[in-house]
């Protein structure tokens, strides 16, 4: 009996995780950074907004920063920021929140390191 209860609970958790994953979306920004100092400033602002989103009650929503290896000869879009969002609803709630808007306004000059020539896409889980 304990085995059956355990398996039912495990199945329910797995189903819930699958349903949540299907609602998840990612926003992806490809861009170039002008120099290493600007990149450090930008990464610091991402850490700040990640902390703010956790404080707002959305710890599973966050940004990650990536860049190509120095040996890669690609000329453009050498940097990438991925926004990890648990759902479209959470994405909208976060972006409409006064704390997010205050962060965006405060960092608009620092975060402009990638605005020119940025390639932005929002991806949804495929069925």
Interval 44-97: pLDDT, tens: 999 999 999 999 999 999 999 999 999 999 999 999 999 999 999 999 999 999
Number of separate domains in the chain: 1
Looking at per-residue pLDDT, the higher value among 122 and 22 belongs to 122
Query: Is 16 part of a structural domain of the chain?
Result: no
pLDDT at 111: 67
Tell me the two tokens of residue 30: 């490809």
How many of the other CB atoms lie within 10 Å of CB of 53?
23
What percent of the chain is modeled with pLDDT above 70?
76
- 4 part of a folded domain: no
Domain that holds residue 73: 24-124
Sign of the CA dihedral running 22, 8, 59, 63: negative
The confidence score (pLDDT) of residue 54 equals: 98
For residue 46, the domain's CATH number is 3.30.70.100
Residue 125 is predicted with a pLDDT of: 84
Name the residue with tokens 């949540």.
20
Q: How far is Cα 26 from Cα 30, in angstroms, rounded to an integer?
A: 13
Indicate if the pLDDT at residue 113 is higher than 60: no
Is position 43 within any domain? yes
pTM summary value: 0.76
102 located within any domain = yes
């Amino acid at each position: 009996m304990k085995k059956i209860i355990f398996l039912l609970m495990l199945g329910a958790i797995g189903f819930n995780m699958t349903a949540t994953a299907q609602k998840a979306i990612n926003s992806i920004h490809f861009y170039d950074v002008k120099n290493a100092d600007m990149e450090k400033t930008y990464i610091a602002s991402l850490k700040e907004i990640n902390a703010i989103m956790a404080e707002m009650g959305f710890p599973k929503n966050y940004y990650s920063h990536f860049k190509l290896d120095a040996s890669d000869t690609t000329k453009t879009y050498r940097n990438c920021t991925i926004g990890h969002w648990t759902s479209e609803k959470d994405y909208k709630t976060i972006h409409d929140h006064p704390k997010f808007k205050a962060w965006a306004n405060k960092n608009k000059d620092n975060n402009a390191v990638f605005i020119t020539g940025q390639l932005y896409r929002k991806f949804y889980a495929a069925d």
